[in-house]
Structure 1
């Protein structure tokens, strides 16, 4: 009887596997940058999730920063890549490369911080900075800039800061944080891109006063005693989108089964990462390897294990610093993608009006994600459109609400903006409306990355 049950079980398993069509291309190359949020790609490789899908994947560390990643995806050297959420949008618009790229899924929420060196922190402390406050505002930086301008007059030297790429979350977060206190990022400061692993050395060399970057490159500076992490991107926008898995649209069309197989493997890895803190500790071991992030485990542990190191010697609880699957972190919300377009307008990166809804529906693929989610038991939110800034674990530093139906108003409803396109012109190009639905805060896959175990529904 037992043998018969086993045979039946094996038969059902074989039938289930044959329902999934074979991938068109099995030998793949996926590019990544040495950051902790490459973890889903690393885990999909190391835990055999790619292999289980019949894929032979080379997960390649890119040494040329985000521009190198983008160039190689567009040229076809990389079939898929770890990408900043704004990159496929910008490439499709022709302002960051020129190719129709698509965001297939979100790799994570949060994961960044703004870290300043000791010199600028000392100046800010003279103007009221308390670096133990949560969240820290940029008010003291604004006061220091005003005093510096008054002293230097026409010979004012703008402060220099680093971020990883012009269309990165990091650039927009740094600007958002500054602008919410009245700082004009393009007049009061110089903001320059650097590859993430080079941020600490540039700060120590005095090339920049501070930067916004992902981990482990904030903890590196704090542990060295050379600065402090003032604010995380979770502090700026609770549970904000960070990286995506991107590919060329024509590759996706030509290789739909390959694409879905990669997505299944990555989502399984994301679920595994949030299943337990023990899994996170195992992931830290993989990420520390030379061919991945190549950082000491104790540095990686500062953020991946549910804490975050704002100041040396003081580990602060921050379970949501890295979220990979919980709270719909893997889902590519249209509304998240559109937020990046508003920032491209706000900071003068787009000089022509576009239909933002049509653009995002061309780049983000929640439709394809929904197909794959059913195959790997990933729960879907009630809609691809939602508001942000309205829920307990989804708020902005300045109390603003992001409603995609008011996208044009949102661009201009701030103290500081540099839009090259007028509100009236943008309104004419965006006469659509969408129905938004709010998902509940839930952790479907485990306690890691979850605000509190009481939200775990597994």
Structure 2
């Protein structure tokens, strides 16, 4: 089915590549008649560039990056993407260096960090350096929101830098950064190395945190619909397999291989506990999730206030394509979320309508409302 060459799917060394990796290693792609080559990438910028020029047929991708690429806001020409599958919920966490945790005090709270930031400013010391994986990432917006709620301006009071996920722990150990937000296993790896303390998990702060999606270009999806559906069927089966508790040790061993995630298997297995790949509709791409992420991108002026959030969310996130694959496997169709509960200090979030755009423009200029 795949044609003259294998389908090339890109991924980054993270736990939430599990669905793509398990689909390859457990034979689910092969069961669908697909010849798939997995290609580990060094950074999210590389994934962006290779997707934009067609060097990858599809990729494990940061959800905000898929949205940004489609808008031409990620440092490349606009390339419309579609995300027919959510690869995971939960997984990101904010980790601070052990030495910073000691200075912050019990619980390593954002309020404690705010006091440390203020003290450093008074002393004329350099600002705290925190790393995220990419500007257009749930990690950037999660960290920014956590800081902002404690009165820390992420653009003025701290220094934010970008680093590949797999380098986060070594940068913390080396004192290059003093904290980071990344998806597992690199938070748990920092704890295991004695270098870090997990301050808050995404699932505690933003319940059922949306993170990665599987993305292809809109043109590829239109030209190769049968292959896309075969990929989705394989990955739906892989997600269900990965969610089974009885399979977690085997999954950790698969991910631990050097050409995949390359972290200690025991660390990976521990770090998988909070992650959901398939259960309770986790794999369905929810336009409301996309709308929430776009609203965060707008809040921090990473996209123009004039962007039609609803139109972009519905064009990129494609639950209809997910539903076709699910139905073919005899799986129930996942209902669409109309309201997203638990985000923004327990306030609900819905996809905005046209009359909301003026409010979104105001919020982008004044995040506190």
Aligned with 1:161 (options 130, 134, 139): 130
Residue 185 to residue 412, structure 1, CA distance change in 2 (3 Å): farther
> Following the alignment from structure 2 to structure 1, what is the Cα–Cα distance between the partners of residues 283 and 226?
19
Taking structure 2 as the reference length, the TM-score comes to 0.93
1:2-40 CA deviation, whole Å, 9 max, x = no partner?
xxxxxxxxxxxxxxxxxxxx6667720101000011000
| C-alpha displacement of 1:245 | 0.2
Structure 1 unpaired stretches of 5+: 1-21, 132-136, 307-320, 390-394, 425-458
> Following the alignment from structure 1 to structure 2, what is the Cα–Cα distance between the partners of residues 57 and 79?
10
- Is 1:130 the equivalent of 2:77? no
In structure 1, the partner of 2:340 is: 388
In structure 1, the partner of 2:253 is: 285
Alignment of 1:219-368 (within 5 A): 219-274=188-243, 276-304=244-272, 306=273, 321-368=274-321
Structure 2 unpaired stretches of 5+: none
- Is 1:111 the equivalent of 2:91? yes
| C-alpha displacement of 1:170 | 0.5
> Following the alignment from structure 2 to structure 1, what is the Cα–Cα distance between the partners of residues 366 and 151?
21
In structure 2, the partner of 1:87 is: 65
In structure 2, the partner of 1:443 is: none
> Following the alignment from structure 1 to structure 2, what is the Cα–Cα distance between the partners of residues 405 and 101?
21
| C-alpha displacement of 1:411 | 5.4
* Mapped contact 1:170–1:212 kept (Cα < 8 A): yes
| C-alpha displacement of 1:145 | 1.7
SS in 2 for 1:218: helix
* Mapped contact 1:163–1:191 kept (Cα < 8 A): yes
> Following the alignment from structure 1 to structure 2, what is the Cα–Cα distance between the partners of residues 193 and 270?
29
* Mapped contact 1:73–1:79 kept (Cα < 8 A): yes
- Is 1:147 the equivalent of 2:119? yes
Bigger relative contact order, structure 1 or 2 (CA pairs below 8 A, ≥6 apart):
2
In structure 1, the partner of 2:163 is: 194
| C-alpha displacement of 1:190 | 1.3
| C-alpha displacement of 1:399 | 2.5
Residue 325 to residue 147, structure 1, CA distance change in 2 (3 Å): same
Alignment of 1:172-183 (within 5 A): 172-183=141-152
Taking structure 1 as the reference length, the TM-score comes to 0.75
Residue 409 to residue 119, structure 1, CA distance change in 2 (3 Å): farther
Residue 412 to residue 121, structure 1, CA distance change in 2 (3 Å): farther
SS in 2 for 1:381: coil
> Following the alignment from structure 1 to structure 2, what is the Cα–Cα distance between the partners of residues 380 and 410?
33
- Is 1:373 the equivalent of 2:326? yes
SS in 1 for 2:339: coil
- Is 1:41 the equivalent of 2:20? yes
- Is 1:77 the equivalent of 2:55? yes
> Following the alignment from structure 1 to structure 2, what is the Cα–Cα distance between the partners of residues 403 and 66?
28
> Following the alignment from structure 2 to structure 1, what is the Cα–Cα distance between the partners of residues 360 and 102?
33
Root-mean-square deviation (CA), in Å?
2.3
> Following the alignment from structure 1 to structure 2, what is the Cα–Cα distance between the partners of residues 334 and 49?
27
* Mapped contact 1:408–1:423 kept (Cα < 8 A): no
* Mapped contact 2:169–2:186 kept (Cα < 8 A): yes
| C-alpha displacement of 1:104 | 1.5
* Mapped contact 1:33–1:62 kept (Cα < 8 A): yes
In structure 2, the partner of 1:50 is: 29
Residue 423 to residue 138, structure 1, CA distance change in 2 (3 Å): closer
